[in-house]
Amino acid sequence: MPDPDLTTVTLADAHLLGGPEFVAQVREDAAAVADELASIGPQGEPVHRESAWTGAAWTLVDTARAAMVGQAVPTAGGGAWTVTPARCPAGHPLRPGRILAGWRACRCGGHHTWT
């Protein structure tokens, strides 16, 4: 199965982390950054605007996610999802189907684990 594109993954994460309101905020803020960063081509079209937008959106979502690691976030189905790190310490993306999330009991209560 091919990997989903980064824009799709980023917006899906934004929805999980903050719902439609956060997705709208990410779209708006990323568009503002892309407008500022994307150069203008010879016919007046922005060059590489899509990559500037995706990079900005990913940074916004990644920052929000890092602040929420380990917290339980409600899901649309009435359950909860524990926010996992976006990347391993080496920088590889941790996406569904590529991460093993767990819980380890401890005297302090317990610890989340991600492999």
pLDDT (tens digit per residue) in 68-104:
988 888 887 888 888 888 877 777 777 767 777 788 8
Residues in CB range of 26: below 8 A, 6 or more apart:
10, 11, 14, 57, 60, 61
Q: How confident is the model at residue 4 (pLDDT cuts 50, 70, 90)?
A: low
- Give me 37's structure tokens: 């960063």
Q: Are 101 and 84 in contact (CB under 8 A)?
A: yes
Per-domain boundaries in the chain: 6-82
Whether the CB-CB separation of 10 and 61 falls below 8 Å is answered with: yes
Torsion, Cα of 37, 42, 47, 49 (10° steps): 70
